[in-house]
Amino acid sequence: MVKDTSSKQAIERCITNKYFSVAYLCNEENTMDIHIHDCYEMCFCICGDKHFLIDNKFYDIVSGDLFVINQFESHYLTKINQSALERIVIFIHPDFIKTLSSGHTNLSTCFTNRTQGFTHRLHLTTEQQNSFHFYTDKITSVDSYGSDIIEKACFMELLVMINRIYIDNFDLNTNENDSKQEQPIEQIIQFINQNICKPITIEYLAKQFYLSDSYICRIFKSATGTTINKYITARRISIAKSLLSSGTSVSDVYSQSGFNDYSNFLKAFTKAVGVPPKKYALHSSS
């Protein structure tokens, strides 16, 4: 398997082939804005000193952290341009992972279990980090007879390992909040998510927290790396994608996800996802 050096290239390869792709990222092109894509993502951080904003959770990144993200979760890696963040990212098409799972083993558990107490972040031990490197190196280096079978087998072993770690970690953290929350950023993010289906403006948020418009924008951007409006739009697109995938009609989705009219919804959704909502709904149900 080719090891990509661009996340955008790897995402496109994953979605086009309905398979999985591996990217080694260090001196990458400018990181994407807060975004959502139609594939699962495992992001293994070789060095830390960054932050990860995933939906309504804000994480510090430590060397050895692995993040598991599904196709409905908006995410943004902050402050990447100030210094390089070395990482290995694996993108996986949800349909492909279904073909690998069995009646006893659901290999998408780490991406789909989003009950109370879950965390996107798994901190791998030194032994687990070595295993992760072993599997990804073998997947991207094998080039001989049977390479396709070896590639798939290694990938399945890697998924089994990550899901075991996730399940064990979930049991340990059921009553804990693993995300990094900062004051007043914690309260702002929580308030936005609690009111995401209602009209939310900068002025309204500022009044809720007794802050000036400029100050609330500045502290949010400083802490998360993105703007309030981009964050709100991304969260609404996440909700819209989930509703469309569950069969909710397009005419109901735009209001249920917080957009004030269909034209705004159509424009924002198409820009973020790459296809109009009706086409996305048709593809998701096929």
Rounded average pLDDT over 8-20: 94
Residue 223 pLDDT > 70, yes or no? yes
pTM for this predicted structure? 0.79
Q: Among the listed ranges 96-110, 179-193, 206-220, which one has the minimum average pLDDT value?
A: 179-193
- Assigned CATH class of 3-172: mainly beta
**Predicted confidence (pLDDT) per residue in 91-111, tens digit:** 999 999 999 999 999 999 999
User: What pLDDT was estimated at residue 175?
Assistant: 46
User: What pLDDT was estimated at residue 28?
Assistant: 55
Domain map (residue ranges) of the chain? 3-172, 185-285
Highest mean pLDDT among 125-129, 195-199, 260-264, 265-269: 125-129
Q: pLDDT tier at 143 (50, 70, 90 boundaries)?
A: confident
User: What pLDDT was estimated at residue 87?
Assistant: 92
Residue 179 pLDDT > 70, yes or no? no
Residue 177 pLDDT > 70, yes or no? no
Do 3-172 and 185-285 show the same overall fold?
no
Q: pLDDT tier at 161 (50, 70, 90 boundaries)?
A: very high
Torsion of CA 204, 207, 213, 218, to 10 degrees: -100
Q: For all residues of the chain together, what is the average pLDDT? A: 87
Give the whole-angstrom CA distance, residue 46 versus residue 86: 5
Q: CA distances (Å), 134 to each of 27, 48, 181, 184, 284, in order?
A: 22, 21, 34, 41, 34
Residue 120 pLDDT > 90, yes or no? yes
Superfamily of domain 185-285: Homeodomain-like (1.10.10.60)
Residue 192 pLDDT > 60, yes or no? yes
Q: CA distances (Å), 172 to each of 56, 70, 113, 167, in order?
A: 21, 21, 15, 9
